[in-house]
């Protein structure tokens, strides 16, 4: 029996030095979901074009108003996990349902995950979220929220990609369900100690 070795990944934060790596991954994947450039969870949201989204994301990087862990396979950036304090990750899906049963706000939010098309199914998302949790710990910890999609009990989603991640990944990393905000989407929380 032949086994495929598990890739070993490294992580780095998105900043001016790693921007070219991030941009190369986005461009290699057609702008990601039609040109979003991972800007949708930022306060400014989507712009009128992929170019505007790219420029807005780059401006966040230049200002230092973005937290994002990039995952590397050797020298190639193959995925990421966006996270940040509420001021940076202020726009979330299903906001009305989210606010309906809101007791307390988190210190940090995990916005989106992305894995390059040729690396899916090889642990990139796990490396990305693990890297984000380590960065949150280093920044002082706190209550972290994520908004993944339920996979269990659901028909397979052919060609679908869960841009907020699958629930079982977050469960494996110590998150617990807080409340349901859509048919297949949950608020999940975990406290990270400093």
pLDDT by position in tens, the chain (length 194): 444 455 689 999 999 999 999 999 999 998 888 899 999 999 999 999 999 999 999 999 999 999 999 999 999 999 999 999 999 999 988 888 888 878 899 999 999 999 998 898 899 999 999 999 999 999 999 999 999 988 777 665 554 556 788 999 999 999 999 999 888 889 999 999 99
CB neighbours of 28 closer than 8 A, spacing ≥ 6? 116
CB neighbours of 21 closer than 8 A, spacing ≥ 6? 70, 72, 76, 77
- Please give the model's pTM, rounded to 2 decimal places: 0.91
Q: What pLDDT was estimated at residue 155?
A: 67
Q: What pLDDT was estimated at residue 3?
A: 46
Q: How far apart are CA 109 and CA 87, in angstroms?
A: 10
What CA–CA distances, in Å, run from 24 to 4, 120, 122?
A: 27, 17, 20
Every domain of the chain and the residues it spans: 10-192
3-state SS class at 162? coil
3-state SS class at 12? strand
CB crowding 24-34: b at 16 or more within 10 Å, else e: ebbeeeebbee
Q: Would you state the structure tokens that stand for residue 174, as one six-digit string?
A: 């110590």
The phi-psi region of residue 122 (left if phi > 0; otherwise alpha if psi is between -120 and 50; otherwise beta) is alpha
Residues in the chain: 194
Q: How far apart are CA 120 and CA 63, in angstroms?
A: 31
- The domain made up of 10-192 is a member of CATH 2.60.40.10: no
Helix axis angle for 19-28 and 50-63, nearest 10°, is: 160
């Amino acid at each position: 029996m032949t086994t495929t070795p598990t890739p070993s990944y490294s992580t780095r934060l998105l900043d001016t030095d790693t921007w070219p790596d991030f941009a190369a991954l986005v461009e290699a994947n057609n702008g990601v979901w039609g040109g979003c450039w991972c800007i949708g969870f930022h306060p400014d949201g989507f712009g009128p074009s992929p170019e505007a989204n790219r420029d807005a994301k780059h401006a966040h990087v230049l200002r230092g108003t973005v937290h994002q862990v990039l995952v590397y396979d050797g020298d190639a950036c193959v995925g990421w996990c966006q996270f940040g304090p509420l001021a940076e990750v202020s726009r979330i899906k299903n906001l009305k349902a989210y606010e309906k049963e809101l007791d307390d706000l988190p210190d940090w939010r995990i916005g989106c995950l992305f894995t390059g098309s040729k690396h899916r199914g090889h642990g990139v998302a796990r490396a990305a979220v693990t890297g984000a949790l380590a960065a949150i710990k280093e920044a002082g910890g706190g209550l972290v929220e994520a908004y993944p999609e339920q996979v269990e009990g659901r028909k397979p989603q052919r060609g679908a990609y869960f841009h907020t991640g699958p629930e079982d990944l977050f469960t494996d990393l110590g998150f617990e369900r807080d409340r349901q905000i859509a048919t297949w989407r949950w608020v999940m929380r975990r406290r990270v100690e400093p």
